[in-house]
Amino acid sequence: MSIHLQHVSVEIGGEKIIDNVDLALERGTMNVLLGATLAGKTSLMRLMAGLDRPTSGKVLVDGTDVTGVPVRKRAVAMVYQQFVNYPSLSVYENIASPLRVAKVKGDELDRRVREAARVLGLEPLLKRQPSQLSGGQQQRTAIARALTKRADLVLLDEPLANLDYKLREELREELPRILSQTGATLVYATTEPLEALQLGGRTATLSQGRLIQFGPAPDVYHRPNHIESARVFSDPPLNELPITKASTEIRFNDGSTLPALGTLAQLADGAYTMAFRADIVSLRAAWPHSLTFAGEISVAEISGSESFVHVTSPRGTFVCVEAGVSTLQPGQSVDMHVDAARVFVFDSAGALVAAGRES
């Protein structure tokens, strides 16, 4: 099904939880809602499902207004971060429950249950009760139940957050493929930019109940239309630096200047915010179009196969990514090289002015 949230707002106690969101999802597509906690992801899903009704605006399904139609009359399946299973039923019966409601019987029911169980690694657990499962196994059961329902609209609200890393990676690859075979429209909520990129499809960046940008995930990542979209789609956090372009130089708030290289060279004179992600900062070697800042290490966060290194300088505190376990120590002096060919530039209102190649 296609679904269109047409200028919907939700107001609770005088506070806007959803603020004039206009979002159209095409039939059979993969769509990701990306934003921090309380950005409005779950609230939008509840509107799509018919669990809540907007304070203003409409919800259209295949062009028909279904704003007041309750969830039980919609072909929707929803999986939350916190798993929900029937405690008195076995794993098999939990997965089969929507099929029994739909009066699917016999071999067809058994085939669909076992196929969902196979995909989610639940085949050895089909006779167990939910109380005998780990949290990750219970979440996989809930996802399997949603898959067997074969709903027209499948809503997944951070469904992999409670799973172990290996299974999470496998399901990120499997879910779009599985659901594409059903023809369902898939909506997946996450706080993780990397997950949005891995899942592909189209991504909506959300902040404080507002839709910032919606489009193919790589396009939104490489060309954020607003600084808020770039912030949402950056982990570690986006580095930001106020600058003034004056002729062939870039002036910083501390009074220092550097040549206007790369993306910065074509800017009209004036005040901007230069922003850059951690992966275009190097502490080891200069780029062909480097902006180089002297600073010192404040902290190095080790995160598995990479380290997030925080550098303090007179122009601010910035973060970069280093492969492997960093050997840099707090207080150590470094030169921070920023690739000026790949920075973002935003105007005083936060709108994108320029985005470097492969940003």
Domains of the chain: 3-232 (3.40.50.300), 239-355 (2.40.50.140)
Q: Is the pLDDT of residue 1 over 90?
A: no
Q: What is the pLDDT of residue 95?
A: 95
pLDDT interval class at 260 (50, 70, 90): very high
pTM: 0.90
Q: Is the pLDDT of residue 242 over 90?
A: yes
Mean pLDDT over 60-86 rounds to 87
Q: What is the pLDDT of residue 184?
A: 85
Q: What is the pLDDT of residue 80?
A: 83
Between residues 171 and 239, which one has the greater pLDDT?
A: 239
Between residues 171 and 334, which one has the greater pLDDT?
A: 334
- Of 110-119, 175-184, 296-305, 322-331, the range with the lowest mean pLDDT is 175-184
pLDDT digits (tens, 9 = 90+) for 325-346: 888 889 999 999 999 999 999 9
148 burial level (CB within 10 Å; 0-12, 13-18, 19+): buried
pLDDT interval class at 358 (50, 70, 90): low
Between residues 170 and 156, which one has the greater pLDDT?
A: 156
Q: Is the pLDDT of residue 270 over 80?
A: yes
pLDDT interval class at 274 (50, 70, 90): very high
